[in-house]
Chain A
Amino acid sequence: MIDTLFAALRLLGSFDRTLVDIVWLSLRVSLTAVVLGALIGLPLGAWLAVAEFRGRNLLVVLVNGLMGLPSVVVGVVVYLALSRSGPFGSLGLLFSPGAMVIAQMMLVVPLIAALTRPIVEDAWREYAPELRVMGFSRGQSMQTLIHDCRHSLLVALLAGIGRAMSEVGAVMIVGGNIDHVTRVMTTAIALETSKGDLPLAIALGIVLMAVVLALNAAAFHIRRWAMRRYA
């Protein structure tokens, strides 16, 4: 056990090429998915907060429910859509990092939207009269509210990053876990553990934990700075 841990630390210390490639691909795929997911999820959550229409409550419940969407289900859906006979098969994205980005994005959009809605809704309740008198359109109100709640919305983005980086089912199905092409930290950990190559699995686990902790620490400091700056 101790030997395995030391072997993992040696891999980390020597910046093992395989390990670095896997970490870099993981970060690229997950951060791209979260950025694209935020571009959809933040406005969607803000729209659900300010919009008034029949069926709004049903949509809110649906988006909240999709937070717990099983990643393997998303994997199968994206696989079917991108497979050669699927509607987007001609794009040739299956078993590529692009397919993994799409799958992770489908997982993080409802999460970010569901966490954004109550935060923006509270601000909307407070600001709506003044924004209406000023003649703000719905889009301008959403933009203003998202900007005003930006520090609280970091939580939604963090949750999205956590979800994207830690999921394994969807990227395994649509990426295929191909060495140096679509192998990310979670799929590598699963594979190396099953092969008995524990040092690489443990080294990747350490990196994964370190990334998640570093992102949380950064968010914590940003929020603390914002509290001081904006009271």
Chain B
Amino acid sequence: MFPIELAGVGFRPDGQCVLSGIDLQLDGDGISILLGPNGVGKTVLLRMIAGLQPVSEGRLTWGAASRPDEAVAMVFQQPMILRASVLDNAALGMKPLAFGRRERRRRAHEMLERVGLADRAADSARLLSGGERQRLALARAWAVQPRLLLLDEPTASLDPSAVDAVEDIIRGIRTDGCKVLMTTHNLGQATRLADDVIFLADGRVQEHAPARQFFARPRSNAARRFIQAELPWRIRFDE
């Protein structure tokens, strides 16, 4: 299903240009981070790749196919938490798959152990904290053994220790052989997690570069300004 290729992809709700001429190629490993100012279309791009937003302009292909042939999972900023136990929530994503109930519960329990929530398995999921909810959502996504995991600002509004725990899980998912594509506004997090960075501005991909290169020598002025504004104490570029 890789590389995922977007060619000339655009999004213009009610004539207003949000994305225009997006050309992007995603390979099947590592963590790619989508960066860019608010409203630039990062979430729209994720939703297009997840199949939630139809691609009305341009082309999205998965290898040679028009749709993915392996599992794709997505975790949202505010994940869906059902009025059920933590275990039932973790097992939910496997319901459409060909697993029996016992197998679903076994795998869900295994994932809860990996994200450190096994001791809360029988508790009501609605009583979890924000950080625990996000870990539960990651366990639910991980349980379907996705080949691609899309994360839409998964640590927004979490405290530093919860962010740390979520980042550890994301690294674990990558180590498991899953490609991760994630949006964030936290540049510190991007430097810690990213293998490559896709920088969006003015509705276009301004840069797609290895993370080290992007943060040391951003090519576009928009990326320079964005990084300098967010991490002024860390980054000094040669003028």
Binding site for B on A (CB under 8 A): 126-127, 129-137, 140, 144, 147-148, 150-151, 226, 229-231
Given A144-B82, A148-B82, A148-B83, A130-B74 contact (CB < 8 Å): yes
| Contact status B82-A151, CB under 8 Å | no
Q: Closest Cβ of chain B: how far from A229's Cβ, in Å?
A: 6
Interface pair B95/A129, CB less than 8 Å apart: no
Instruction: Please judge, given known A-B contacts A229-B124, A230-B83, whether A133 and B96 are in contact too, CB under 8 Å.
Output: no
Q: For the complex, is B187 an interface residue (Cβ under 8 Å from A)?
A: no
Report the bound CA distance from A150 to B82 in whole Å: 11
Per the 8 Å Cβ criterion, residues 65-83 of B in contact with A are 72-74, 76, 79-80, 82-83
Residues of A within 8 A of B124 (CB): 229-231
Q: Are the C-beta atoms of A136 and B80 separated by less than 8 Å? A: no
Q: What 0/1 readout, one digit per residue, does chain B (40-54) give for beta carbons within 8 Å of chain A?
A: 000000010011100
Contact residues of A: prevailing secondary structure: helix
Cβ of B37 within 8 Å of any chain A Cβ, yes or no, is no
Q: In the bound complex, how far is the Cα of B52 from the Cα of A230, in angstroms?
A: 29
Contact B52 A133 (CB under 8 A): yes
B76 touches A226 (CB 8 A): no
* Residue B121 CB within 8 A of the other chain: no
Sorted nearest first, the 4 A-B pairs with minimum C-beta distance are A231-B126, A230-B83, A135-B96, A130-B80
Q: Please, how many angstroms separate the alpha-carbon atoms of A151 and B124 in the complex?
A: 15
* Residues from chain A with Cβ under 8 Å of B92 in the complex: 134, 144
Whose C-beta in chain B lies nearest to the C-beta of A137?
B96
The complex places the Cα of A93 from the Cα of B83 at a distance, in Å, of 42
Q: Is the CB of B52 within 8 A of A134?
A: no
Residue B84 interfacial (CB < 8 Å):
yes
CA distance A126 to B50 in the complex (A): 17
**B203 at interface, CB cutoff 8 A:** no
What residues of chain B lie closer than 8 Å to A133, measured between beta carbons?
50-52, 72-74
Contacts of A126 in B (CB 8 A): 80
Is B156 in contact with chain A by the CB < 8 A criterion? no
Closest Cβ–Cβ distance, residue A50 to chain B (whole Å): 15
Q: Distance (Å) between the CB of A63 and the closest chain B CB?
A: 26
Q: Are B72 and A230 in contact (CB under 8 A)?
A: no
A129 contacts across to B, CB distance below 8 A: 47, 50, 52, 74, 76
Residues of chain A within 8 A of B144, CB atoms compared? 134
Q: Is B93 an interface residue when CB atoms closer than 8 A count as contact?
A: yes
A226 touches B83 (CB 8 A): yes
Check B231 for interface membership: any CB of A closer than 8 A.
no
Bound form: Cα–Cα A130–B93 in Å: 9
Chain B 102-132 near chain A by CB (<8 Å), digits 1 or 0: 0000000000000000000000101100000
Known: A147-B82, A230-B127. 4 other contacts (CB 8 A): A134-B144, A136-B95, A230-B124, A230-B126
Highest count of chain B CB atoms <10 Å: which of A131, A135, A136: A135
With both beta carbons as reference points, the residue of chain A lying nearest to B78 in the complex is identified as: A126
Q: Which of B74, B80, B124 has the most CB of A within 10 A?
A: B80
Q: How far is the CA of A126 from the CA of B83 in the complex (A)?
A: 13
Contacts of A127 on B, CB cut-off 8 Å?
A: 80
How far does the alpha carbon of A147 sit from the alpha carbon of B144 in the complex, in Å?
A: 22
A229 to B84, CA, bound (A): 9
A148–B85 Cα distance when bound, in Å, is 11
CB distance from B86 to the nearest CB of A (A): 12
